[in-house]
């Protein structure tokens, strides 16, 4: 059921003084309990501090890579792809979105900037009103883009924070229009490749659907399909959804690859894909004075582990995923599960994150 992997000289005597092993053990015991009971079918834990890494695999055979649908952890990855173009001088955060999408200029849309799109302050909705209906008929991503360009704004751009997957979608659309390269291909070539994320793709890419872990959609929210037979052609496990490559939630990756992505921002002076200044900027608060602290694509502060420092950057996903990195503790945490977050947040994700955050 549980397989542990210890890298470097992890948890030898010197490491124990720096990281409380009993907290890691408690986190593993918690995860193992819920996997053994069948509540969660599969999980992978990845914890790293300094040069020491600990990996725990739960109900996964050695033959499987442990590739999960990340859901919204995809958002900071999409933001990083957009910021690669900022590094190249092809866009700026305060550019109006209409500069690259000329048809996006009606009313207050004309004031929306790329910064608004990446910080959930554009006024766009999280999901379209017709979201589930579109999935049911297997609408292409291009239709989501067209409808996002037309959907009513919920508030004036920059006025407040409002979590918005559609803003992330349009940020990716801008990237695609600038590069004339499909966004999944761009991310693979310009972000995942340079970072050594060998088991990552937006959509499936070259990954076989059978090699990914299936989400427990029966316990998910309405847009997961909830395991209904009539939803099998559009739910989170369907070829349609896994191949759609939604920039707000469609990345597949292993826990090790997610950890590698977070290291780009934990150690920005050693950044390999982005410029160091850009990597630092992405995890700095861009929404001062608003209800939530957000970086570019990342959530900041509260919401990671209970004992994380204020400088922690993080993101979770509806499929049952959570990742964070705490610069003050030089500590990172990734937990990928198949149990949707509406159940696993309380049962697994947050409790495990709290325990690991207390280990340093």
Could you give the CA distance from residue 117 to residue 196 in angstroms, rounded to a whole number? 27
Could you give the CA distance from residue 63 to residue 164 in angstroms, rounded to a whole number? 37
Q: What is the DSSP string of 152-201?
A: PPSS-TTSS----HHHHHHHHHHHHHHH-S-HHHHHIIIIITTTT-TT-E
Domains of the chain: 2-71+193-357 (3.40.710.10), 74-181 (no CATH)
Write phi, then psi, for 247 (nearest 5 degrees): -65, -20
- Give the pLDDT score at 51: 86
Strand segments, DSSP code E, in the chain are: 2-7, 43-49, 52-58, 68-69, 201-202, 251-253, 299-300, 313-317, 321-326, 331-337
- Give the pLDDT score at 11: 40
Entry field: residues in the chain: 360
Bridge partners (DSSP) listed for residue 332: 48, 325
Could you give the CA distance from residue 180 to residue 302 in angstroms, rounded to a whole number? 38
Write phi, then psi, for 238 (nearest 5 degrees): -75, 150
Strands 251-253 and 299-300: unpaired
Cβ(121)–Cβ(157) under 8 Å?
yes
Cβ(195)–Cβ(265) under 8 Å?
no
Give 71-91 pLDDT, tens digit per residue: 999 999 999 999 999 999 999
Half-sphere exposure of 143 (CA within 13 A, CB side): 10
- Helical packing angle, 165-179 and 141-150, nearest 10°: 110
- Give the pLDDT score at 5: 41
Could you give the CA distance from residue 307 to residue 141 in angstroms, rounded to a whole number? 39
Q: Which residues of the chain have pLDDT under 70?
A: 1-18
- Give the pLDDT score at 2: 56
The pTM assigned to this predicted structure is 0.95
């Amino acid at each position: 059921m549980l397989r542990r992997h210890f890298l470097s000289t992890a948890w030898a005597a010197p490491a124990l003084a720096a990281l409380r092993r009993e907290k890691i053990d408690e986190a593993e015991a918690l995860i193992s309990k819920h996997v053994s009971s069948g509540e969660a079918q599969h999980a992978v834990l990845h914890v790293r501090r300094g040069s020491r890494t600990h990996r725990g695999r739960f109900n996964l055979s050695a033959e499987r890579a442990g590739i999960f649908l990340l859901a919204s952890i995809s958002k900071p990855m999409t933001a990083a792809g957009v910021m690669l173009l900022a590094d190249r001088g092809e866009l700026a955060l305060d550019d109006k979105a209409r500069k690259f999408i000329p048809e996006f200029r009606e009313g207050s849309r004309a004031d929306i900037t790329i910064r608004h799109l990446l910080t959930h302050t554009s006024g766009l909705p999280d999901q379209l009103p017709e979201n589930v209906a579109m999935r049911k008929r297997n609408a292409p991503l291009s239709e989501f883009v067209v409808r996002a360009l037309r959907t009513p704004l919920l508030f004036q751009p920059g006025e407040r924070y409002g979590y918005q997957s559609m803003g992330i979608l349009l940020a990716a659309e801008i990237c695609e229009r600038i590069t004339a390269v499909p966004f999944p291909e761009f991310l693979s070539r310009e972000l995942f490749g340079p970072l050594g994320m060998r088991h990552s793709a937006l959509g499936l890419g070259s990954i076989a659907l059978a090699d990914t872990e299936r989400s427990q959609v029966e316990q998910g929210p309405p847009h997961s399909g909830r395991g209904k037979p009539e939803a099998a052609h559009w739910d989170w496990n369907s070829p349609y959804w896994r191949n759609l490559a939604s920039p707000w939630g469609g990345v597949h990756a292993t826990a090790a690859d997610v950890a590698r992505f977070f290291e780009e921002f934990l150690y920005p002076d050693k950044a390999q894909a982005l410029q160091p200044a850009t990597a630092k900027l992405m995890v700095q608060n861009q929404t001062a004075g608003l209800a939530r602290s957000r970086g570019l694509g990342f959530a900041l502060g509260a919401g990671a582990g209970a004992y994380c420092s204020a400088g922690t950057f993080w993101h979770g996903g509806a499929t049952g995923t959570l990742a964070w990195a705490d610069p003050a503790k030089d500590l990172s945490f990734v937990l990928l599960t198949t149990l949707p977050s509406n159940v696993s947040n309380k049962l697994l994700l947050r409790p495990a994150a709290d325990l690991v955050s207390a280990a340093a």
